[in-house]
Amino acid sequence: MKLRAIATMILSTSALSATAGGFETNSLSTSFMYEKGNYAELGMSSRSPDVKGTVYAPTGSALAKQDYVSLAMKTDISNTLSVGLTSYNQGAVQLDYSSAGSPYAVALPVVDLDINALAVLVKYSLSDNVSILGGAKQSQVQDASANIFQSAGLPASSVSGATETSLLIGASYAIPKIALRAELIYEGDADFSLDTSNAGVGTGKTSASVPDYMTLNFQSGIAEDTLLFGSIRKADWSNHQITVFPGTPTTSSFTDTTTYSLGVGRKINDAVSLIANYSTEAAGSSASTTPLTITNGYDAIGLAVRYSSGNSTVTAGYSYAKVGNITLTSGLGVGEFTNNTVTGFGIKIGYNF
């Protein structure tokens, strides 16, 4: 079974995923830790939401376009010990109703919030079949602005960034002969208390957090030059809401999520592999009382091509997602967010050395 060229391509091309639960944009990828020898990669992606709703966003998307850059590298210390580092954007709230066509736009929120992650991973191979992983993830909230209290006559709040660290731990089981690998990894949560100023009422604290995640990644050869892969990812979003000063109670209404992904990779020749996957996140309640919650689960398909030449690989992918419907009810009226989509494109360049 000639799967070596595609056995490590469990997809970190972020264009192949849609906007996930809460405000997650990109999940931790550990695939680079299983590359042969020393390895480095650079990824770039862009995600374009088209999220409209009556009353609140009738003519333009209330969610803004998002662009990301990711980096990862891994080195072998010995035959059994590897160390890796990855940097990526793990969360964002990019919300802007100002150009979405609502007559109430002046009272609707504009939020610019990003959370980046820097993760250090160590992989120790107990045998050819069993490995353990551990490490830490540093989550950094960037300085942000949140203009969400216009209806109360208040200006935008300015939020100062902060950094918190959480634990990473996992294990994997592999049968290299058939390119089988199953990996279970846990990411601890991180809570932030962010200094915030609002010219209308003074200073206070904004609270936000990144939930704990449990992810099962798996892959297996199912025919010559053909790889089946997928993942199951659970997140405890219901206990990790956002409260922006001076607002009370919580501003968000996130619910727990489980995201499923399943795909197939096919090696066409020594240079080219094709990839297709489907991912889904079940919808929760379709009722929302906050204009920060306007999507509700998703179904997405992704297509990618991987080109290999010598020690280099280039993977490019496209995704299309249909997001679940929301009925938003507030003092401004009842709006229906239906038939909305998110499209994405990404490219990743990898190099073994």
- Is 233 inside a domain boundary? yes
Kindly report the CATH number assigned to the domain that includes residue 30.
Answer: 2.40.160.60
pTM check: above 0.85: yes
Q: Integer distance in angstroms from the first to the last C-alpha of the chain?
A: 25
Q: Please report the pLDDT score of residue 290 as a whole number.
A: 84
Which tokens belong to 217?
Answer: 């990644």
Which tokens belong to 118?
Answer: 């820097």
Pairwise CA distance, residues 184 & 179, whole Å = 17
Q: Domain limits at 79?
A: 14-352
Q: Indicate the number of domains in the chain.
A: 1
Q: Per residue in 230-269, pLDDT tens?
A: 999 999 998 998 888 987 655 777 888 999 999 999 999 9
pLDDT bin (cut points 50, 70, 90) of residue 114 is very high
Q: Please report the pLDDT score of residue 7 as a whole number.
A: 43
SS3 154: coil
Q: Per residue in 57-107, pLDDT tens?
A: 999 999 999 999 999 999 999 999 999 999 999 999 899 999 999 999 988
pLDDT higher than threshold 90 for residue 28: yes
**Least confident stretch, 21-25, 180-184, 221-225, 279-283:** 21-25
pLDDT bin (cut points 50, 70, 90) of residue 22 is confident
Give residue for tokens 């949560």: 189
pLDDT bin (cut points 50, 70, 90) of residue 20 is low
- Is 9 inside a domain boundary? no
CB 79 within 8 A of CB 10: no
Encoded amino acid at 149, one letter: F
Which tokens belong to 246?
Answer: 């001076």
Q: 243: which DSSP letter?
A: B
Q: What is the mean pLDDT of the chain?
A: 90
Pairwise CA distance, residues 20 & 295, whole Å = 10
- Is 5 inside a domain boundary? no
pLDDT higher than threshold 50 for residue 11: no
**H/E element holding 110?**
strand 110-125
Give residue for tokens 């009382």: 289
Stretch 290-311: mean pLDDT: 91
Which tokens belong to 295?
Answer: 């999507």
Stretch 114-142: mean pLDDT: 97
pLDDT bin (cut points 50, 70, 90) of residue 3 is very low
Which tokens belong to 160?
Answer: 């100062």
Q: Which residues contact 73 (CB under 8 A, 6 or more apart)?
A: 32, 38, 39, 40, 41, 84, 85, 86
Supply angle C-alpha 227, 228, 229, rounded to 5: 115
- Is 6 inside a domain boundary? no
pLDDT higher than threshold 80 for residue 199: yes
Q: Per residue in 215-228, pLDDT tens?
A: 999 999 999 999 99
Q: Could you give the percent of the chain with pLDDT greater than 90?
A: 74
335 DSSP β-pair partners? 328
- Is 54 inside a domain boundary? yes
Encoded amino acid at 105, one letter: A
- Is 3 inside a domain boundary? no
